[in-house]
Amino acid sequence: MRIPRIPGFDQEALEKYFKNTGALFVGRVGSLAIKMIVGIALANYLGRGQNGILTGGIVYIYFFSAIATLGLDQFIVKELHAFPDSRDKILGTALGMKLMAGLLCIPLIWLAFQIYPAKGTPYGYVFILSFIGIIQAFTVIDSYFQSQVQSKYIMQVQIAGNLVSAAIKLALIFTKMPLVYFVYAYALDFLLISIGYYFTYQRNDRNIFKWTYDSALAKKLLLYSWPLIISGIMVALYMKIDAIMLQNMKGVKEAGAYQTVANLSEAWNFVPSVIVTSLFPAILNARRDDMNRYNKRIQHLYDLMVYLSVPVAIVITFASPLIYKLYKHEYAYAAPVLSVHIWSGVFVFLGAANSQYLIAEDLNTLTFLRTGFGAIVNIVLNLILIPKMGMMGAAIATLAAYAGAAFFVLVIPKVNKQGVMMLRSLFLFSLFQKLSKS
């Protein structure tokens, strides 16, 4: 299959870059399809109330994911590229760091829950889920296969793990098990993936028991990754704080209905990361060789993000009442909320593209600043809008936060031209310019 031609990018290079990530993309699409089917069945079985209780625990754990992962993944790939002979030391050190971080998260989650709990969600459920931080430490193996451009193994593990997970959840629904079983099942999802990674890595004379921990390397990795840890915490806040605030202000039933909106709206947010990962090498090459071509490629990337995200948002806006016919009637009132929330994806796509520019220009600090700004906007607007509008207010706050974070660069003189370029793409100026020339 040919990759569609993208203006400004070399077709042969595109074929190579997309093939490197194509398997991972297929795996994520397959996993998404499985999760969507099971997610709808689960929401219908639990109903709004119990779905909200479960969501409260899951979202609470999400806030600590940045600490548990330490923002290490991209640096592990980089180190493995630079020092392939040090594979066992790099992976062993990263695993040790993630295990310690996951263990540290357990008391931190307890402390945070005492300060600002998810009302209606028992801490026992949160405690069970807090061990996910330790379990997911084995995702360092994912980074290894990425460094070897062997994403097909990641795809195989993800699809197999999601199939087993889906079968377990459907069996629990069929046998009408209580909510706590689904809490364990969610934690089991991560364990299944980790087990899959372990057995996949053990092939071809690789041995996880040969891994070693190096404290000097740990300090080096932590020095590089700490800004990403803080940025990740900010991202978690501005992406998920609305769910907890809604649950605390309006109750678990409203939170349960809103979770179906978030699941449907955010399901496709992995697409921009796959695309920009594929195109980033071509963008870096252009920056090295020709700045004019570099700027054109950045503009074409923004255009592509808009061309992909806006049509999907338009379709979902009008199709949301039909989509909610798949759910029980008690969820039907969430359809208009989905029609608003889905537009936040446009700014997720643009923000993902702009993040690659900031990385290329070594402006990672701005990533932290804009995610922090997005978090503040989301929290403030949630406080104002949720009491008056319920989950529609949460959706509006999320949309405003995502847009504000994406276009935060407009107020930074050093990079405000990027904001103008994104606006050109968003309002289709680039498209009209191309059409007028043709």
In this prediction, residue 23 carries a pLDDT of 57
What are the residue boundaries of the structural domains of the chain, listed by start?
10-229, 268-438
In this prediction, residue 366 carries a pLDDT of 81
SS3 188: helix
Residue with tokens 């040090």: 86
In this prediction, residue 133 carries a pLDDT of 87
In this prediction, residue 368 carries a pLDDT of 78
With a cut of 50, list the residues of the chain below it in pLDDT. 1, 3, 9
Distances (CA, A) of 216 to 147, 221, 268: 22, 9, 39
The token duo for 245 is 């605030």
SS3 116: coil
Q: Is there a contact between 60 and 244 (Cβ–Cβ < 8 Å)? A: yes
Q: Is there a contact between 161 and 29 (Cβ–Cβ < 8 Å)? A: no
Structure pTM?
A: 0.82
Other beta carbons less than 10 A from residue 149's beta carbon:
12
In this prediction, residue 181 carries a pLDDT of 94
d(CA 88, CA 84): 9
Residues 6+ apart with CB under 8 A from 248: 116, 117, 118, 119
In this prediction, residue 128 carries a pLDDT of 93
In this prediction, residue 371 carries a pLDDT of 84
In this prediction, residue 24 carries a pLDDT of 60
Query: Cα-atom radius of gyration of the chain, to the nearest Å?
Result: 22
Q: Is there a contact between 305 and 272 (Cβ–Cβ < 8 Å)? A: yes
Q: Is there a contact between 276 and 353 (Cβ–Cβ < 8 Å)? A: yes
In this prediction, residue 155 carries a pLDDT of 77
Distances (CA, A) of 298 to 13, 231, 308, 399: 16, 23, 16, 24
